[in-house]
Structures are given as C-alpha cells and as structure tokens.
Amino acid sequence: MRALVQRVSEARVEVDTRVVGQIGPGLLVLVCAMRGDTEAEAEALAAKIQRLRIFRDAGGKMNRSLRDTGGAVLVVSQFTLAADTRSGNRPGFSTAAPPDAGERLYLHFARSLEALGVPVETGAFGAEMAVHLVNDGPVTIWLDQGSS
C-alpha cells in the first residue's frame, strides 16, 4: 500500500458540499492499495503510521507519535498515488488495485488504525471529494508498504 501522510492542525473531506469526515490535530492520510496488496500490508501500514514520530515534543523536535498526542486520522482513498509517469505525459494507473480490492483494503486500513486506538474519520471511496486541510509544519511523508 502507498500513503501520503500530512500532519495537520485540522482537515475535512466533503462530498457534494456535505462534510463526510473531519478531524482536528492529527494526520491526513491519502492511501492507495496497489495491485497485489493484502490485509497484512494494510495492517503494517496502519501500525507504522500510528507509531510515526512526526509531532513536536516540548523541545520542538519531531519526537511524538499519534499514540503520544492522542491525535486523529482522516483517511482518504486516492488511487492516483499509483500514477506511473515514466512514459509520456498522461499518468497510467495500472499498478493500482482494482476498485473492489482497493475499497476492501482501504476500509481494512482504516479499521486497523481504529483497532490500534486511533480515532479515525474517512472520506467516501470512489467519490469525487473536496479535501480541506491546514498542513502543520508543513510535514508531508511518503510511505510504501508491501508488494508495490
């Protein structure tokens, strides 16, 4: 699985101007299941993100995790993270998991974070979404986990 993690002071996702997920301080995680990924990769990615030390400590160093801060996660599916731009100018997405597997793994990833005690909100898989965020830092981290 592939994820783009952004530390945020707040974030929300809307579908047709209706808020479907919203958090205060925490992480916005754009996630894409790649062809061949399994539940094991989703669980490993969730565990990694839950332990990722990218929040400031009292000294201002990035030394605290979601576990330490009690922050929440807004999980948004984004198959375009699978974009292959090596040939031409139009991205290809053949390395993304098919929609049924992608949705199953996206939901499994979100449930895995919840099982680790992280408050989770989600977007709407496959929907046209408007994502609003205030990137804190900015801190943006790219993660790949698994077969991709």
In sequence order, what DSSP letters do the residues of the chain get, joined into one string? -EEEEEEEEEEEEEETTEEEEEESSEEEEEEEPBTT--HHHHHHHHHHHHH---EE-TTS-EEE-HHHHT-EEEEEE-GGGG-B-SSSSS-B-TTBPPHHHHHHHHHHHHHHHHHTT--EEE--TTS--EEEEEEEEEEEEEEE-S--
Options 79, 109, 122, 145, the catalytic residue: 79
Place of tokens 């053949």: 94
Q: Is 55 annotated in the active site?
A: no
Q: Is 80 annotated in the active site?
A: yes
* Beta strand pairing call for 55-56 and 62-64: antiparallel
Options 78, 109, 122, 145, the catalytic residue: 78
Q: Which residues pair with 133 in a beta bridge?
A: 11
Instruction: Just list the catalytic residues.
Output: 78-80
